[in-house]
Structure 1
């Protein structure tokens, strides 16, 4: 079981729907069209379409599994004073003096460009359960960094 936001759940469900209603039918049409061209043993279009069909079906199964095991979190039940799943956190790298804003999300929703980090990332794991004003040390690939939590909200 994996907890996630309603937004993340909807995004995955939308991707699955698009795969099933748009992309897979297009690939099936491509396979049918390539099959009509004759000899399949040397038909590159046929083999490429079959590979794409396999990739899309694998992705669809993966997304279905995520949705089957997902539990959407009711934000009203979450604490806003300490860091947890779906918390918005402003942290400062004490050594570099640089502030960053992150939202702690499930691994399937993580997207650094959007400021969403996985709850399983080293930084998020170090922040869990901490409050504004707390300082933590985190081991990251670049070494140890010291972070101060400036604010926590939902």
Structure 2
């Protein structure tokens, strides 16, 4: 079975690498210290602090494996790869909401670094999918739970 590649911008790659470094160094050390302290309480069979620390250790180790896997299969989108003629992953797209006559911008990113609060939308989201491959002047109609929303593409740029 082919593995799904994780598409990341350089910024997203750096964030994942920093998260991994934090988990491997700081978080592991904190959890080891909590386990050591919890063991000093005596009988670990009925030690809630010990159980909680071991559960957190297992979760953290799982997260480390997950991030390492993502980094192994990541495809990093370089600024040179970003096309400003058509919407592509990594591009910043300025659009006009046709219904409300408002302008907004989206950065199209891979699903692992999507953050709607920072205007970063996934290439797999309904809006991201609709925008991909379109050009300035195109109008896209996106099906959303409440109906449809139309955007006119005003500008495509690199960050």
Give the TM-score of the pair, scaled to structure 1.
0.95
Q: CA RMSD in A?
A: 1.1
Q: Deviations over 1:120-146 (max 9, x none)?
A: 100010011101110011011222111
For residue 68 of structure 2, what is the aligned residue in structure 1? 64
Residue 36 of structure 1 pairs with residue 43 of structure 2: no
What is the aligned partner in structure 1 of residue 103 from structure 2?
99
- How far is the alpha carbon of 1:73 from its aligned partner? 2.0
Q: 1:62, CA displacement in angstroms?
A: 1.1
1:4 corresponds to which residue?
8
Once the two structures are TM-superposed, the CA of residue 2 in structure 1 deviates from its matched residue by 2.4
Q: 2:92 aligns with which of 88, 93, 103?
A: 88
- Following TM superposition, the consecutive aligned residue runs of length 4 or more in structure 1 with deviations greater than 6 angstroms are none
Match of 2:49 among 40, 45, 53: 45
Greater Cα shift, 24-33 or 10-19: 24-33
Task: Note the alpha carbon deviations across 1:19-42, whole angstroms, 9 max, x for none.
Answer: 000011110111121112111121
Alignment pair present for 1:117 and 2:88: no
Deviation at 1:147, TM superposition (A): 1.1
Superposition pairs of residues 11-26 of structure 1, within 5 angstroms:
11-26=15-30
Deviates more, 1:55-64 or 1:73-82: 73-82
Farther off after superposition, 132-141 or 73-82:
73-82
Q: Aligned residue pairs: how many?
A: 154
**TM-score, normalised to structure 2's length?**
0.92
Corresponding position of 1:132:
136
Are the aligned partners of 2:85 and 2:156 in contact in 1 as well (CA < 8 Å)?
yes
